Amino acid sequence: MSDSSSSDEHTTATGILSHSFVLFGALGDLSLRKLMPALYQLEHAQLLSQELEIMAVARSAISTAELKQRVEHTLNQYIGADQLNPSTLSRLLQRLCYCQVDLTQAHDYITLVQALSSWQPQVTFYLATPPNLYSDICQHLHSAGGVNSFSRIVVEKPIGHDLASSKVINDALALYFDESQIFRIDHYLGKETVQNLIALRFANPLFESQWNNQYIDYVEISVAEDVGIEGRWGYFDKAGQMRDMVQNHLMQLLCLVAMDPPSQLDASSIRDEKVKVLRSLKPIKPDEIRHHLVLGQYADGQFKQAPAPGYLNESDANTSSNTETFIALRAEIANWRWTGTPFYLRTGKRMASKVTEIVIHYKPNSHYIFSPDQASLAKNRLVIRLQPSESISLQVLTKEQGMDKGMQLRRDPLQLDLAQSQSNARIPDAYERLLLEALKGNQSLFVRRDEVEIAWQWCDQVRHSFQSTDQPLRPYPVGSNGPKEANDMIQMHGHLWYEDCDEI
Ligand code: BG6
């Protein structure tokens, strides 16, 4: 593993506003569905520099005028024709140019580099392409003279499917770009509430002083999706939920919840602290799997009152697949702050509803003085809802009102709805923030090489342990909260998932 821990102090690519943006894969799904709408919103908020020029790159033989038509059509579709502001739209379209490039053909890059020759030399290249093209793109761009010490490269996940393959991709990038020039996207880091975690933890002494194993019983990070594979069968069946969600999004959330306060808010300080957490994760040994890991796969069920097919019955399914669409695991962080406080991570496709939540389950008081039948109520929980309806809610206990209620306890939330509490109510999409920060050269919302690789190392180890056991994949019906074995697993340790807490 390269020692990248100090390389982002290198300042050639960071901290300078980039006025040239080149989007590879510009006609692909990610670009049209996420990046173009994000650029539109940044334009609308007047956050793009006046000089910014955007080169869209793809293989199709279309003209710049046709590209503009496509982009306008896309924005109508994803933002809504009635929402589009004509002057914003026209400003954005004026910035766009198109260059036809077959990404595997070296000579096409010469045309691209020539087209960029009059542009500002600090170019941000965004690779919205499959990762197997990263190496070719970097190499050809470099050979054509398109890369300099001011260039930045933004890459999407997946960075490999295990530690070895991630190293191959990282090595290919490192041949042409310094670590300070590489911006690896994990779109969860761009979400507003994820950003808010940093403010919540480190700007509020109230929370930070109790953010440890003395006060916190366990932490739960749940990312439930109601969608299934959405036509991405070829990719997903080789990945599964461990590689698709845990190795990146859930591990990043875990790091932000568990890390020590960084000495400053700069990229190196934050990323160093995240790496320390990843390094402290205890491996899950084969003989611990039964108590630490449940893998599941959705089976036929009901979604919104209609029958819905299971994973193996989806159209184009690999009917003998044993890829997991659900995972629940108990992670332990072996350090001073967290030893004895487990982190339960849970994520699945085709579950009851889409909800991403971090729940901090606090310990009860050491001495309890209220009615014995209310003892299980007397705990605080902090619920950080990332999506939908971003909110932070602290569950506190008060007394039931009324002379006849004695000292009967009740739990109520102190609730902060983030969209409503601030007047500029629109919560930006993660890609808006990430694009803006990449253009500014701020790496703190992007993932460093060592983070990616240590996360893979841990996930690979957990997968190998699982494979060495005879644990089966547990079925769960579409539209449920996952297999019942996930409840058994957490209950073995005397804990409950948040949705079950008030039922007992
Ligand atoms: C992507 C995964 O990274 O994240 C998808 O590849 C998943 O499978 C998606 O659906 C979830 O993102 P979000 O922002 O909708 O929670």
What does the block give as tokens for 172?
Answer: 């290919």
Q: What angle do CA 378, 391, 489 make, to 5 degrees?
A: 55
So what's the pLDDT on residue 406?
A: 87
Strands (E), 409-471: 409-417
So what's the pLDDT on residue 377?
A: 85
User: What are the sequence ranges of the domains in the chain?
Assistant: 7-184, 189-359+448-503
Distance of CA 287 from the midpoint of ligand 1 (Å) = 31
| Known catalytic membership, residue 73 | no
Least confidently predicted of 234-248, 375-389, 439-453, 459-473: 375-389
Count of C-beta atoms within a 10 Å radius of residue 410: 13
Ligand 1, pocket-test mutation among 189, 235, 245, 325, most atoms within 8 A of CB: 245
Average pLDDT, integer, range 486-497: 97
Average pLDDT, integer, range 315-342: 95
**Residue 115 pLDDT > 50:** yes
So what's the pLDDT on residue 5?
A: 41
Q: What distance in Å separates the CA atoms of residue 10 and residue 437, rounded to the nearest whole number?
A: 17
**Residue 9 pLDDT > 80:** no
Question: Tens digits of per-residue pLDDT, 465-482?
Answer: 999 999 999 999 999 999
So what's the pLDDT on residue 1?
A: 37
- The CB of 453 under 6 Å from ligand 1? The reply is no
- The CB of 186 under 6 Å from ligand 1? The reply is no
Give the CATH fold of the 189-359+448-503 domain: Dihydrodipicolinate Reductase; domain 2 (3.30.360)
Nearest atom in ligand 1 to the alpha carbon of residue 223 is: 16
So what's the pLDDT on residue 229?
A: 86
Least confidently predicted of 15-19, 292-296, 376-380, 453-457: 15-19
Q: What is the 3-state secondary structure (H, E, C) of 358-405?
A: EEEEECCCCCCCCCHHHHHHCCCEEEEEEECCCEEEEEEEEECCCHHH
Neighbour-count burial for 199-211, b at 16+ CB within 10 Å, e otherwise: ebebeeeeeeeeb
Supply the residue whose CA is at minimum distance from atom 14 of ligand 1. Answer: 188
Average pLDDT, integer, range 4-29: 70
Which residues pair with residue 183 across a beta bridge?
Answer: 154
- Whether domain 7-184 has CATH 2.40.37.20: no
In this prediction the pTM is 0.94
Choose the catalytic residue: 19, 44, 249, 292.
Answer: 249
Question: Tens digits of per-residue pLDDT, 186-210?
Answer: 999 999 888 889 999 999 999 999 9
So what's the pLDDT on residue 423?
A: 64
So what's the pLDDT on residue 3?
A: 39
So what's the pLDDT on residue 2?
A: 38
Distance of CA 188 from the midpoint of ligand 1 (Å) = 9
So what's the pLDDT on residue 10?
A: 38
Average pLDDT, integer, range 358-383: 92
So what's the pLDDT on residue 248?
A: 98
Q: Which run of H or of E encompasses 96?
A: strand 96-100
Least confidently predicted of 177-181, 263-267, 421-425: 421-425
Percentage of the chain modeled with pLDDT above 70: 96
Distance of CA 186 from the midpoint of ligand 1 (Å) = 10
Question: Tens digits of per-residue pLDDT, 422-434?
Answer: 766 678 899 999 9
- The CB of 156 under 6 Å from ligand 1? The reply is no
Q: What distance in Å separates the CA atoms of residue 464 and residue 98, rounded to the nearest whole number?
A: 46
Phi, psi at 323, each rounded to 5°:
-80, 135
So what's the pLDDT on residue 296?
A: 98
Question: Tens digits of per-residue pLDDT, 211-247?
Answer: 999 999 999 999 999 999 888 888 899 999 999 999 9
- The CB of 244 under 6 Å from ligand 1? The reply is yes
Cα radius of gyration rounded to whole Å, the chain: 24
**Residue 8 pLDDT > 70:** no
Supply the residue whose CA is at minimum distance from atom 9 of ligand 1. Answer: 245
So what's the pLDDT on residue 232?
A: 85
